[in-house]
Amino acid sequence: MAADRTPLIGKVLEPVRYTIREDDIQDYLPVAGEEQAAFLSDEAAQAAGYERRVVPPSFAPFVAVQALLRAFDWERDFLFNYRTGTAMFGEQELEYLRPLYVGETLTVRSEVADVYEKKGKNTFDVIQVRFTATDDSEVVAFQGAQSYILFK
């Protein structure tokens, strides 16, 4: 019998601190093809009106995925045995509210927003997790939601 996951709605997950590291950005820029000067140096970023070197907006989903995968335990928080079950990443939505900076640390807070069952060829549950990423001043840098698909 499959677990009833609907009582998980409203469950607050562990907050995760994520530092945007220089090494990660150096690896990311060539793969993403991001070449704007503001992504390459503090001086160029300041000349473009930023306080310091910025991270491409396309890097924010990577931060969200990495942080959320550290925010929960599949079995404890989603009643799911990842070693024997099948899970997939579903849709993601993200609202980018301000530039991200190399070296800054964000705190990603999340909660289970919805759980519902879907039927196709197989029956599966969809768990939607809402999140916000704030800086040390509690200013929201980005927010959104991610879905995880758990096959029964």
Q: Which domains does the chain have, with CATH numbers?
A: 8-151 (3.10.129.10)
| pLDDT, mean over the chain | 94
At residue 88, the 3 state secondary structure works out as strand
pLDDT per residue as tens digits for the range 133-150: 999 999 999 999 999 999
- Alpha-carbon distance of 109 to 86, in angstroms, equals 25
The angle formed by the CA atoms of residues 116, 90 and 33, to the nearest 5 degrees, is: 160
66, 83 contact by CB (below 8 A): no
Q: What percent of the chain has pLDDT over 90?
A: 86
pLDDT per residue as tens digits for the range 108-119: 999 999 999 999
Using the predicted structure, report yes or no on whether residue 93 has a pLDDT greater than 90. yes
> pLDDT class for 152, splitting at 50, 70, 90?
confident
